[in-house]
Structure 1
């Protein structure tokens, strides 16, 4: 799976002539510098920022705190270099997914809302409805575990350890909060995530920056150890004996890929509901999504962990991050607990939308209504630690989502190239949908 995901990213990077590098200035101006500008051009239910916030809500989760710590404990500091490598090529993969999701999205005949994602570009672009159904099945099942139960369990365990709250109480509260948000659909989810995502990201980033600037003299040696350990894990001072190049690469690349979800096909489902005048314009926000998740949040987490140097002490997962924050800032454990809770809760909201739209693709509007009846009780089961077998099954489904999605990306690469050429002929001109529809035929 790592080879498939990273390999597709490399192929797309070459096919697009290094778009994310050649046009980085334009991407920066079109995303970072327009974060809170409400663009009402084009058709859709969400602003570009609401769409990327919903996608980031699902993407930025426990992997950014626990996953990074696990990567370092398994692969040493060099794992972060390989995480960056996977994120670098993942930017092009996510760009391609989002662009194609907009290009081949449809209007729901009942609600009139736009729906899209891999299942639709597999059906309308690749002309293989069965492959779209396979993706939708894997996505709906994965959402119950990786997007729901594991996140609810992370919340309940961290609140129990830090504040002594009962998992049963936490599960009940999570059901109420989630139902209040999802009951009104994507517009409600978008309004919540556009406020929640910036808040939780800034809160966590500021805490990380405080620790990093308090230990600024260690930043140089940390960067040196990351690059030195990337190719020879035992080369840099303090390297962990027994870590091989293979384990370092595997730990970093896998954590990077599964943190930013580039190639899995989940994020494009949220982006497909955005207001935009051209698929490529929204695709640029896919690049932004990977930048925030991997290059900013994951990197800052890794620096905090490497500053404390406690990953060699036999701790695992969240315990490494918690101890690292405790070492660098007052009440560090509480900061990790609050951040983990916010990250995980946002993931529950975002993945609900993915699962709902997947079931809607399979069974129509009745399927989406039925999904609420399944999703909410599963939150409680996750919070109290039940049915761990479902976690393993859904984790497998999460990986299997990538296979039909990657097939679609590879088959539709020529269409992607035509869309890119069409857009960059005059990217600042407002484009109507009929200008690029001919390119899809």
Structure 2
């Protein structure tokens, strides 16, 4: 069992160490330059089309949602326990310098998130029995954009099999936070 744990730890250290950091920051920097930092230079446009239209009633047509509902759905999909727990852990483990690197990662990560959204919208698949419902996933992008049918199938299987584990990680983060809160409150009394 210790041998298996050592192998998993070695692979994890390699994947989540320097190579992953270089790949993520490098991709974000490349895409930011390619998009000419539009998320910063066109900030007025973005605010007008998000916050400016957020409370302007429901969209036109059947099955549309309001801007506020779309914004809430987008935030619910993006902000999660992992982000909250991850930020707290980074500040605890890395100190104030971690905040600076989180800002840099966020600035560069905006372009990768924008690319993910654009690719998802471009290569989405329409439901067969529906007039206006679509499916969008990374596996559809792999299949439709890159032509990697076997890779898309493998990715879909991995997401299906490994998906519940992400819930376990989030649950563990919440439980540990509650335990620490309880310990802090009982310590003060």
Deviations 1:24-76 (A, max 9, x none): 21111111222233452589765554344334224322234321222122222
Alignment partners' CA distance in 2, 1:161 and 1:74 = 16
Q: Is the 8 A contact 1:44 1:114 kept in 2?
A: no
Alignment partners' CA distance in 2, 1:160 and 1:18 = 42
CA RMSD of aligned residues (A): 3.1
Deviations 1:116-161 (A, max 9, x none): 1322222222222223223323333342122x22233444555567
What is the number of residues matched between the two proteins? 166
2:45 is aligned, of 7, 21, 26, to 26
Alignment partners' CA distance in 2, 1:44 and 1:12 = 34
Alignment partners' CA distance in 2, 1:11 and 1:42 = 39
Alignment partners' CA distance in 2, 1:30 and 1:137 = 37
Q: Is the 8 A contact 1:39 1:47 kept in 2?
A: yes
Structure 2: gaps spanning 5 or more residues: 1-19
Query: Which residue of structure 2 aligns with residue 108 of structure 1?
Result: 127
Alignment partners' CA distance in 1, 2:62 and 2:28 = 29
In the superposition, the TM-score normalised over structure 1's length comes to 0.33
**Higher-RCO chain (CA-CA 8 Å, sequence separation at least 6):** 1
Q: Is the 8 A contact 1:45 1:114 kept in 2?
A: no
Query: Which residue of structure 1 aligns with residue 34 of structure 2?
Result: 15
1:50 aligns with 2:69: yes
Alignment partners' CA distance in 2, 1:68 and 1:144 = 22
Q: Is the 8 A contact 2:126 2:134 kept in 1?
A: yes
Q: Is the 8 A contact 2:120 2:138 kept in 1?
A: yes
Alignment partners' CA distance in 2, 1:31 and 1:118 = 25
Alignment partners' CA distance in 2, 1:37 and 1:95 = 24
Going from structure 1 to structure 2, the CA distance change for 1:151 and 1:63 (only over 3 Å counts) comes to closer
